Amino acid sequence: MSYGRDARGERTVSRGGGGLATALRGLVEQHDVTWIANAMTDEDRVVAGEEQRGTILLAQDPHAYDRFYNVAANPMLWFVQHMLWNLALTPDFDHDAWTSYAAVNAKMARAVIDELDRNPDALVFFQDYHLYLAPELVRRERPDVLMSHFVHIPWPESGAWSVLPPEVLRDVFAGLLANDVVGFHTDRWRRNFVRGCVDVLGASVEGDVVEHAGRRTLVTAHPIGIDTAEFDALAEDEDVLERERELVASRPEMLVLRVDRTDPSKNIVRGFRAFGLMLERHPELRGRVRMLALLDPSRQDIPEYVEYLAAVEREARALGDAVDLRIGDDFKRSVAAYKQFDVLFVNPVFDGLNLVSKEAPYVNTRDGMLVLSENAGSHEELSAWALSVNPFDVSGQADALHAALTMDPGEKQRRQAAIRSHVREHDVAEWGAAQLADLDRVRSRS
């Protein structure tokens, strides 16, 4: 969560956006948890100075936090892990930003150690790519604490990681291996990480355990799911229903939907090209089908993201009326569109999991088809029922969109039901339980 002030000067609390924050909230609500996070807003920093229960907000040095968040974590690590650098020219590795990344991690590690002083038996769960260095700093002072780290984004192979200087890369891998458990959404990212431990650190591997520097780390894959009760409720939410009525009143015969942050990893530009190519190849569909693109403008402090959003807008303009582009953040509008799509288009260059590909089919009411990139993490679970596309093959995506739009109704119904039942059975509670089961397995071993 994040704090702000409203027009009257009252403190406001907003829930973190995105599927991950939603998923973690479910986990936190069911256990006695202390949530430690970096303060992001000015008001967060005020809260950080107050006595806190359940949530600890760390007031980081603003300059260091900016370098940490807007250079080292994004775009640097994010672009490395999604293979987005244009390597002939970018990046120049920024040592100063990496120093800030290390400083923010050190402050986080100190806060974790302080919390462990209060609760010596607590389990520690690190989340994602912002905190690769913290676990090793905690481990040095607390050799016996049980620690788990979940990486929510792709883990590429060693070649892509060579963007980091070797000493930095070793720190990243060693930092993660200071945990007892390291988790990923897919077996593909898990396998790449294990191979990287061998390549970068010379670690040894035995089944799903990596051994390095006298420590054993369990490396697992557990795809995250959604909170189905939340989406059951959202589907009937009054704001959602109102937006759905508006959409129904204005919708074309067939609706192709995409819902994304405007992140270069999401492959929005090629997606528009593919839709345009599909209309060129099938002019009989013009006027009958429209693409609705609900895009949340992401990370606009980072030049690469500003440029990408401009490229997205240019490409959409080139398609005229065929595309309805909405830039903004309105989750309830997204849920309304989830219910109404005929084809959901999810074509990321790379994606750790992609929760939209689970949320939207779960609430869809039209037997809508999922066109899914083979580089989305959820492809490991959903490929049997989705139409798979290669994210670099615009022509293939155009063909897949057409196949999805013209698929036999019985086949559509069968596939949609299968995705829905998979999403229901493998929900966020299962994912949370798997985290705890992994730590139990480690505890019983030692």
Question: Which residue's structure tokens are 């897919």?
Answer: 186
Q: How far is the CB of 201 from its own copies (least distance, A)?
A: 16
> Three-class SS of residue 124?
strand
Q: Is 230 in the site for its own copies (CB under 8 A)?
A: no
Interface stretch with its own copies, choices 19-27, 90-98, 224-232, 240-248 (CB under 8 A) = 90-98
17 binding its own copies? (CB under 8 A): no
Q: Which is nearer to its own copies, 127 or 388 (CB)?
A: 388
311 binds its own copies (CB under 8 A): yes
Angle 76-78-83 from CA coordinates, rounded to 5°: 95
Three-state secondary structure call for residue 68:
helix
User: Does residue 299 touch its own copies according to CB under 8 A?
Assistant: no
- Cβ 72 to its own copies, closest distance in Å? 14
Among 165, 204, 232, 417, binds its own copies (CB under 8 A): 165
Q: 3-state class of 433 per DSSP? A: helix
Q: Counting contacts by CB under 8 A, is residue 390 touching its own copies?
A: yes
| 193 contacts its own copies (rule: CB under 8 A) | no
Alpha-helical runs (H) found in 17-94: 18-29, 42-48, 62-67, 78-81
The residue within the footprint of its own copies, chosen from 48, 112, 163, 234 (CB under 8 A), is 163
| For residue 91, cis peptide bond before it (omega within 30 degrees of 0) | yes
- Is there a contact between 157 and 128 (Cβ–Cβ < 8 Å)? no
Question: Looking at beta carbons only, is 271 or 368 nearer to its own copies?
Answer: 271
Give the footprint of its own copies on residues 242-271 (CB under 8 A): 264-265, 267, 269-270
Sheet strands side by side (includes 289-296): 323-327, 289-296, 254-261, 343-346, 369-373, 387-389
Minimum CB–partner distance for residue 29 and its own copies (Å): 36
Let me know how many helices (H) and strands (E) the chain has, helices first. 19, 16
Footprint on this chain of its own copies (rule: CB under 8 A): 83-89, 91-93, 95, 156-160, 162-166, 192, 195, 264-265, 267, 269-270, 273, 308, 311, 349-350, 374-375, 390-396
